[in-house]
């Protein structure tokens, strides 16, 4: 469901797939060819949310800001795994955020990074570009090489394929 809040309607780019069970509310901007999957909530009621192009927000994830303080900003080619909570944080381009991750207010994830499944990134944490972080609380593990960068892009490209297929099936109804 895509719906306004306080008169502000979400903006959805060309070629996006938004599942009918997803909740996209208020001050939300979604870039071209991005996708929001089953039962995800993108709640732009207390602050804005921006999802870049070619990004995906998978099943049961929640994106929400902090009133008048912290927005949620995702770059381009970002993969947000199943059941992720992003609260008032920024995720740079070409990142992979693993299943069950929690990233809290004012955290910043540098481009080309991987946050491993189940990791909690505390408030105000700065993750340098091309970093692997894991644990609770999250800790730096290593710098990511070019093979890891390609792996991140594989996940993002897979979701572009899924988006195309879902849109095709919708059009055939």
Residue-wise pLDDT for 18-77, tens only, equals 999 999 999 999 999 999 999 999 999 999 999 999 999 999 999 999 999 999 999 999
Residue 172 within a domain: no
Structural domain span for residue 72: 2-164
Residue 59 within a domain: yes
Other Cβ atoms less than 10 A from the Cβ of 160: the count is: 18
Strands 131-134 and 139-143: antiparallel
SS3 of 108, please? strand
Binned at pLDDT 50, 70 and 90, residue 171 comes out as very high
Residue 108 within a domain: yes
What is the domain count for the chain?
1
Query: What confidence score (pLDDT) does residue 143 get?
Result: 98
CA dist., res. 45 & res. 78, Å (int) = 22
Query: What confidence score (pLDDT) does residue 173 get?
Result: 78
Residue 170 within a domain: no
Q: What is the CATH number of the domain that holds 151?
A: 2.160.10.10
Residue 173 within a domain: no
Other Cβ atoms less than 10 A from the Cβ of 163: the count is: 20
Q: What is the pLDDT of residues 134-157, one digit of tens each?
A: 999 999 999 999 999 999 999 999
CA dist., res. 120 & res. 139, Å (int) = 9
Residue 127 within a domain: yes
Phi first, then psi, for residue 168 (nearest 5°) are -60, -45
């Amino acid at each position: 469901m895509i719906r306004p809040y306080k008169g502000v309607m979400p903006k959805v780019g060309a070629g996006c797939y938004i599942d009918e069970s997803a909740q996209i509310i208020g001050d939300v901007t979604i870039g071209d060819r991005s996708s929001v999957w089953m039962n995800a909530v993108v709640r732009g009621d207390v602050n804005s949310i921006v999802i870049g192009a070619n990004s995906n927000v998978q099943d049961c994830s929640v994106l929400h800001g902090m009133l008048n303080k912290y927005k949620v900003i995702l770059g381009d080619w970002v993969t947000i795994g199943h059941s992720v909570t992003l609260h008032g944080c920024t995720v740079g381009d070409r990142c992979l955020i693993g299943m069950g991750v929690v990233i809290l207010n004012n955290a910043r994830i540098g481009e080309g990074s991987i946050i491993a499944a189940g990791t909690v990134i505390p408030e105000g944490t700065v993750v340098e570009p091309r970093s692997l972080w894991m644990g609770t609380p999250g800790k730096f593990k290593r710098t990511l090489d070019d093979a890891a960068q390609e792996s991140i892009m594989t996940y993002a490209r897979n979701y572009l394929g899924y988006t195309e297929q879902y849109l095709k099936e919708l059009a055939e109804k």
